[in-house]
């Protein structure tokens, strides 16, 4: 094993250490409340070191962003085995909302935080997001093959569906569920998606 490859490996380990520390602090304090100094302190290095491995705070953001989509896809993957596509679609909705609730800050990172797109047009940064969306569109096509959603365009339908589950998640993440002071947010989401599923069933 050459020195060069060991150096390479150490470089990657350092990146991992930074990402691990960043994730920890992000999930503890939330993205905007986390400073580069906080991350440096967590990993017991100086702030300057981080900038030897990442261009800026946004690059750390993007890495964790992709990781979020990987995790979400992992949760979706097992649903591949649900035979009926419409049942699979409903299960996906449940998994999506569950993911948002259980990973509030990560969900925030993935879908709500202002995407810091500095160098306009970097579609490669959104690979994982694209794949998740493709997954949804495929399920919708499968549904159509079984007679659902006649005369509907998968593109627009997928957007409407995504909007609904994202809307619920976003309202939950940003505490807008408090607009219903007498209803528990979990109850609100469960029964809200139930009503939505009934709509889908009849479409």
Q: What angle do CA 125, 35, 103 make, to 5 degrees?
A: 60
Helix 127-145 vs helix 57-76: crossing angle, to nearest 10: 30
- Enter the tokens of residue 61: 């953001």
What whole-number distance in Å separates Cα of residue 105 and Cα of residue 67? Answer: 13
Using CB under 7 A, pick the residue from 52, 73, 117, 199 that binds DNA: 52
Identify the residue among 49, 144, 152, 164 touching DNA (CB under 7 A).
Answer: 49
Of 21 and 34, nearer to DNA (C-beta) is 34
Q: 100 in the Ramachandran plot: left (φ > 0), alpha (ψ -120 to 50) or beta?
A: alpha
Which stretches of the chain are DSSP H helices? 3-29, 36-42, 47-53, 57-76, 85-102, 104-107, 127-145, 154-173, 185-202
In angstroms, rounded to a whole number, what is the distance separating the alpha carbons of residues 176 and 23?
Answer: 25
Cβ–Cβ < 8 Å for 67, 50: no
Q: Residue 36 Cβ, how far from DNA at the closest point, in Å? A: 4
Interacting residue with a second copy among 52, 73, 117, 186 (CB under 8 A): 117
Stretch that binds a second copy, among 46-54, 60-68, 87-95, 175-183 (CB under 8 A): 175-183
Partner from DNA, a second copy, none contacting 165, C-beta within 5 to 8 A by type: a second copy
User: Please, which residue, 6 or 194, has the CB nearer to DNA?
Assistant: 6
> What distance in Å separates the CA atoms of residue 161 and residue 181, rounded to the nearest whole number?
26
Report the phi/psi class of residue 57: left, alpha or beta, with left for phi > 0 and alpha for psi in -120 to 50: alpha
Q: Which stretch binds a second copy (CB under 8 A): 10-18, 50-58, 77-85, 125-133?
A: 125-133
Could you say whether residue 3 binds DNA (CB under 7 A)? yes
Residues 80-99 that bind DNA (CB under 7 A): none
Using the rule CB under 8 A, give the single segment among 16-24, 44-52, 139-147, 174-182 that binds a second copy: 174-182
Minimum CB distance to DNA, residue 59 (Å): 8
Using rule CB under 8 A, residue 171 touches a second copy: yes
We find the least distance from the C-beta atom of residue 31 to DNA, in angstroms, to be: 9
Residues that bind DNA (CB under 7 A): 3-4, 6-7, 10-11, 14, 34-38, 45-49, 51-52, 56-58
């Amino acid at each position: 094993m050459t020195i060069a490859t060991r150096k390479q490996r150490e470089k990657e380990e350092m990146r991992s250490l930074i990402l691990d520390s960043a994730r920890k602090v992000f999930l503890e304090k939330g993205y905007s409340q986390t400073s580069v100094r906080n991350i440096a302190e967590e990993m017991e290095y100086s702030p300057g070191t981080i900038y030897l491995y990442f261009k800026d705070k946004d690059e750390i953001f993007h890495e964790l962003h992709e990781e979020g989509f990987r995790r979400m896809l992992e949760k979706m993957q097992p649903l591949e085995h649900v035979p009926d596509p419409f049942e699979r679609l409903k299960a996906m909705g449940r998994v999506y909302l569950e993911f948002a609730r259980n990973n509030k800050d990560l969900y925030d990172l993935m879908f709500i935080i202002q995407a810091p797109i500095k160098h306009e047009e970097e579609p490669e940064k959104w690979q994982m997001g694209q794949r998740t969306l493709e997954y949804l569109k495929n399920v919708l096509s499968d549904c159509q093959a079984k007679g659902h959603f006649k005369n509907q365009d998968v593109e627009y339908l997928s957007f409407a569906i995504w909007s609904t589950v994202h809307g619920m998640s976003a309202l939950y993440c940003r505490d807008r569920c408090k607009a219903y002071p007498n209803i528990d947010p979990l109850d609100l989401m469960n029964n809200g998606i139930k009503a939505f599923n009934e709509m889908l069933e009849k479409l």
